[in-house]
Chains A and B, each alone.
Chain A
């Protein structure tokens, strides 16, 4: 039994079902991130947890209490919104203490709580300003302050960083993580940014089309994606997913591609041959960093036989260089070290770290669990 339980929650707007049997248990102090593309249902789910939207069936329970019919203000939650939703007519201090005032907390206690929070977030100099006079990062802090001051059971974050510029977003991300480590509060955090999901969470729920596609730790989601959607959604650049045919030769299974010119490329799989049928079609998932140029492979991993192919595009990004190569007619992105010299249009040899390769069923697009 979790601290926050989402039990078989469904949500329909008329005939349109936007959430299908969502079932997630969150332990106390956990940092759960709901991630997915827009329209996947993640924000709807968050609003249902907050009580801002009604669910169609199922149950939300917080701290062992069913809260389906409890007003948002009585669920002991706090929420940080994408737009921060600071009350424009109130000062920072009034913004932060409004919730306490509404809950009839005496003024002296309100002041004390305000001071604690202001100190924690280092916003003391801002307390008498109006939101309009604050920068994006400062507003973000005030919005968090407003949530923190309530000392709730559960914090809900609705894409809190998406209105910040790139640099500030990274800083605030770290800050939120620090805050979580310090306060050890239960957090449900919605984002469309898979990097935020990976860096912040203790568990990730990847959502798509109203379904939870996968619920797991960041490393589970990254290394053993449940299906092609999760594989492509988590990680940037996305995982390469290429159709291949299994051939069994000398008790080993190989993923074989035709490279268009009639030359075949065989990659020897780490998985035992007994898991496959000869001639079976699969989708091969290869992370960009699992591809290396010849001679620069990690040690102690299972390396494929080198294959020579055409470099299509080279995109240096400083720390890494992204090289798009042609593998059996498919564009495949690899992440190589920053100073690699592979001009586009040249031929070069590459290897694949076969331990990192995942296989999917081409029909269901689910990962083959072998």
Chain B
């Protein structure tokens, strides 16, 4: 699924090419405008927003809304800003990504190189679990988290994200390892390497690309999750839920500039990942459509 350019056999005349460029640029604007609006308006004082043009650049530049969104804005009842929730999200995302990726790698390894009767069915069941509407598990999950004493805690969210992240991470590693020559595993077996030695010495060292894909995918998904966060986060809500709280709060004046700053703060980690490793992000998306 390379996106690399290749010689197209098609030749177009001038008018067609102009039309094509215009269309492409119009769509580029369509995708960019919301980001521009968010950034521009997050740097304006509130008066400039309510009285002015959302498309205009700030007349008076200020980072006040950002500071407010970060540390003093009212989230729910507490004027804590988004900072504690940002930290919650980090504490939740990092272990969840690491654990689900490790399990996915091991699963992918077993499912491709140590095949046994019924492994396809097991993989199929894990694969389908990626696509279920999570509404179907909300009620029992709430009960189980309660029983485990993990309701309203970051640990509970980590558990939830690991459990429902395994499907995708397994899918990634399985498809990657499926293309990895089985002869190498056999050679290592004859050389005397055991199950974990083969994984550690042969498979892992070449798993860099898929690990990047998997980590980015899990990071983006878990960071961006709202449903689990709002259902099971309790007081320890993740960033998305806190942002929604901030934006939807019905008390006081609507501070649009603070909302925008908060929205960008919530988007920042995944946007950064996208900017730094967009190629891998796209690859993950495609592999997430099973084959692409």
Contacts and interface: CB of A to CB of B under 8 A. Distances in A.
Interface of A: 47, 50, 52, 71-74, 77-79, 81-83, 85-89, 98-99, 102-103, 146, 150
Query: How many B residues touch the partner, as a band?
Result: 10 to 19
Q: List the 10 closest A-B pairs by CB distance, nearest first.
A: A99-B191, A102-B192, A73-B192, A89-B205, A85-B187, A85-B183, A81-B183, A85-B184, A72-B190, A102-B193
B88 to A, nearest CB: 38
25 contacts: A50-B186, A50-B190, A52-B189, A73-B193, A77-B190, A79-B186, A79-B190, A81-B186, A81-B187, A83-B181, A85-B181, A85-B183, A85-B184, A85-B186, A87-B187, A87-B188, A88-B184, A88-B205, A98-B193, A99-B190, A99-B191, A99-B192, A102-B188, A102-B193, A103-B192
B203 to A, nearest CB: 10
Contacts of B184: 85-88
Tell me whether chain B's interface is mostly helix, strand or loop, or mixed. Answer: helix
A85 B198 CA distance: 13
A73 B183 CA distance: 15
B197 interface: yes
B190 A78 contact: yes
A184 B277 CA distance: 55
A82 B202 contact: no
B186 A73 contact: no
A52 B114 CA distance: 11
A89 B200 CA distance: 11
Contacts of A146: 187, 191
Contacts of A102: 188, 191-193, 197
A71, A83, A85 interface centre (most CB from chain B within 10 Å): A85
Given A72-B190, A73-B192, A99-B192, A82 B183 contact: yes
Interface of B: 181, 183-184, 186-193, 197, 201-202, 205-206
A73 B192 CA distance: 4
B206 A73 contact: no
Given A82-B183, A85-B183, A72 B189 contact: yes
B18 to A, nearest CB: 45
A74 B193 CA distance: 11
Contact of A79 (B181, B187, B197): B187
A82 B189 CA distance: 16
Contacts of B193: 73, 98, 102
Nearest to A79: B190
Given A87-B202, A89-B205, A89-B206, A98 B183 contact: no
B188 A98 contact: yes
A47 B192 CA distance: 16
B181 A73 contact: no
A134 to B, nearest CB: 15
A52 B187 CA distance: 10
Contacts of A73: 189-193
Given A72-B189, A88-B206, A98-B188, 15 more contacts: A52-B190, A73-B190, A73-B191, A78-B190, A79-B186, A79-B190, A81-B183, A85-B187, A87-B184, A88-B184, A89-B205, A98-B193, A99-B192, A102-B192, A146-B187
Contacts of A88: 184, 205-206
Contacts of A79: 186-187, 190
A50 B197 CA distance: 19
B116 to A, nearest CB: 12
A99 B187 CA distance: 9
A200 B84 CA distance: 73
Nearest to A78: B190
Contacts of A150: 191
Contacts of B188: 87, 98, 102
Contacts of A83: 181, 183
Contacts of B183: 81-83, 85
Nearest to A82: B183
A74 B181 CA distance: 23
Contacts of A85: 181, 183-184, 186-187
B180 to A, nearest CB: 10
Contacts of B191: 73, 98-99, 102, 146, 150
Contacts of B201: 87, 98
A139 to B, nearest CB: 13
Contacts of A74: 192
Nearest to A150: B191
B185 to A, nearest CB: 8
Contacts of A47: 186
Contacts of A99: 190-192
Contacts of A87: 184, 187-188, 201-202
A79 B201 CA distance: 19
Contacts of B190: 50, 52, 72-73, 77-79, 99
B202 A52 contact: no
Nearest to B189: A72
Contacts of A52: 186, 189-190
B93 to A, nearest CB: 29
Nearest to A87: B202
Contacts of B189: 52, 71-73
A86 B181 CA distance: 10
Contacts of B187: 79, 81, 85, 87, 146
Nearest to B181: A83
A136 to B, nearest CB: 15
A50 B189 CA distance: 10
Nearest to B184: A85
Nearest to B185: A85
